[in-house]
Amino acid sequence: MTQEKKIIGIVGARGHTGAELIRLIAAHPALELVFVSSRELDGQRVSAHSDAYAGELRYESLDPAAVAAKRADVVILALPNGKAAAYVEAIDKTAPDTLVVDLSADYRFDQAWYYGLPELTRGKWRGEKRISNPGCYATAMELSIAPLKDLLAAPPVCFGVSGYSGAGTTPSDKNDPEKLRDNLMPYALTGHTHEKEVSFQLGLPVEFMPHVAPHFRGLTVTTNLYLARPAKREDVLARFHHAYDGERLVRVVVVATLDNLLKGAATQAMQNINRALGVDEYTAIPLPL
């Protein structure tokens, strides 16, 4: 018997992550894309912007009430920080059983929402319908720190380098290839949202120094972990193997490298959706060879 597909929509689908989500959903046997909301692309065919999508669906410009009225099984909010609340409120009122996955930072500090970093929060899953997707840098930092968290004597210090896709599609110095050519640009050296996120989620202060580089995607974080007592290399490795050997999307030993648009956003969202819908966690997710 064929399982009936769950219907899913994306709000804020113009950006790089939106494009990745459309590709992942198009390959997903249990999901059917029913709407994509983008003011800039309103009326244009989705297939004109995504080689992976072959249907007749067009982008729409949907306000919060219109999104809620779709009564989708799943809604992904891929909006800038500070823009999710109106959509969440409308969905709470009209379609509270809808699974909402928010990719912004808006609910990462709200303990009423499930923080969807499966490799670290899998045991806290209680069937929540409101999932906050972790930040890309935050994912890398948390995965690199967590196995040694109880041995630390001082705050971890993380040096990060990201491709300019992490700066989004709105033009700025941080995503201008000409200004980044042969360059490494530091930014937000104090008060970075992901620094606050990691400190909150791990329950300890974390220092973070982000930089953007000329390449388009992917990020690397090198983490200094100051241990309270000496540890042998094999003991450190054993902790990481114990934490992550069963995790198919993680190959990490202190230096954490990931695709900011995939494990840092789109595939992490898909992991959370798959788990919430009760299908195999890695469905439609390209796995490393």
The CATH 3.30.360.10 domain(s) of the chain lie at: 136-259
Please give the residue that has the higher pLDDT: either 3 or 81: 81
Parallel/antiparallel/unpaired status of strands 31-37 and 74-77: unpaired
Please state the length of the chain: 289
Q: What is the pTM of this model?
A: 0.92
Strands (E), the chain: 6-11, 31-37, 59-60, 74-77, 99-102, 114-115, 130-132, 157-162, 185-186, 207-212, 219-224, 256-258
CA 225 to chain centre: 24
Give one DSSP letter per residue of 138-192, joined into a string.
HHHHHHHHGGGGGGBSS--EEEEEE-GGGG-SS--GGG-HHHHTT--EE---SS-
> Per-residue pLDDT tens for 131-187?
999 999 999 999 999 999 999 999 999 999 999 988 877 788 888 989 999 999 999
Q: Is the pLDDT of residue 57 over 90?
A: yes
Q: So what CATH class is 6-133+263-277?
A: alpha beta
Q: In which residue are the tokens 């193997």 written? A: 241
Give 8's strand partners: 33, 74
> Per-residue pLDDT tens for 210-254?
999 999 999 999 999 999 999 999 999 999 999 999 999 998 866
Q: What is the percent of the chain where pLDDT is above 70?
A: 98
Query: How is residue 48 annotated by DSSP?
Result: G
Please give the residue that has the higher pLDDT: either 20 or 289: 20
Q: Give catalytic status of residue 158 as yes or no.
A: no
Which of 101, 136, 143, 261 is labelled catalytic?
136
- Out of 3.30.360.10, 3.40.50.1970, 1.10.10.10, 1.10.3720.10, the CATH code matching 136-259 is 3.30.360.10
pLDDT of residue 14: 77
pLDDT of residue 171: 83
pLDDT of residue 254: 65
The CATH 3.40.50.720 domain(s) of the chain lie at: 6-133+263-277
Q: What is the percent of the chain where pLDDT is above 90?
A: 82
Q: What is the mean pLDDT of the chain?
A: 93
Q: How far apart are CA 269 and CA 206, in angstroms?
A: 24
Q: How far apart are CA 16 and CA 218, in angstroms?
A: 12
Q: In which residue are the tokens 């008060």 written? A: 191
Q: Is the pLDDT of residue 59 over 50?
A: yes
Q: Is the pLDDT of residue 27 over 60?
A: yes
Q: Is the pLDDT of residue 1 over 50?
A: no
Q: In which residue are the tokens 């380098």 written? A: 161
> Per-residue pLDDT tens for 67-126?
999 999 999 999 999 999 999 999 999 999 999 999 999 999 999 999 999 999 999 999
Q: How far apart are CA 261 and CA 248, in angstroms?
A: 17
Q: How far apart are CA 151 and CA 192, in angstroms?
A: 25
Three-state DSSP class for residue 210 = strand
Three-state DSSP class for residue 227 = strand
